[in-house]
Structure 1
Amino acid sequence: MRFAIPARRQTPESIVPMINVVFLLLIFFLMSAQIAPPDPFATDLPTANAEAEIAGEAVLWLSAEGVPALSGQSGDAAWAALGALDPQTPVTIRADRSLPAVELARVLQRLGSYEFSTIELAVQP
């Protein structure tokens, strides 16, 4: 009697190399990703004895020369971006400590013309 020789089963493809590639890509993207956008310019915040948390959703940066920046835009583009925000949006001002008070008052007056309900000044403890 002749019996048929059973066909050889092919071994299934190993998934381990694909998992290795996926983890290498994941590590690459985590290492090269920018987690938070960089500050538009360096500011030296004024000091205070405040312990309250800042709740502002929009952060207006003011340089020592009074140049505003918001969401990657600076100068007049930052003011246009502020004008496009909802007046109920809390705005946080991160002004350099060497910014003259007169310039800060002008900024506050301009923010008042946009009718923002909440404006906070960021300080360092």
Structure 2
Amino acid sequence: MQFAAAPHKRRKPSLTPMIDVVFLLLVFFMLASQFGLDQVIRLPLAGSSTAREYTGPPRLVTVTENGLSLNGVALELGALSTEIGVLTESPKDTIILRGQGAASTQNIIDVLAHLQAAGFETVVLVD
């Protein structure tokens, strides 16, 4: 006579090691990732010893939510450096940048970056 072996109860797998591994991966990727790149924006301080006296024709760039204007004349961003080049004698001449109305900070930063990429060194940001 043959007896059947007693049935074994199946053990449920432990989730603790898997949770530990997932947590370690999470910590690793949080420490190893770079969430954003910092960008430095150079703006001269009014009244500093490096500030230059304003000379020449007016160069007021106004940024609005719909676009920008140079001395009250609406322009596209691509034409801005050309039009300011006509009004300046050197890239160190002062350009005044003003945000108006509901202009976003990103719009102002884009115009500032465009001016600095075009070689203009002295951009003053005003209210």
TM range (shorter): 0.3 to 0.5
More relative contact order in 1 or in 2 (CA 8 Å, sep 6+)?
1
Q: Greater CA radius of gyration, 1 or 2?
A: 2
Give the structure-2-normalised TM-score: 0.45
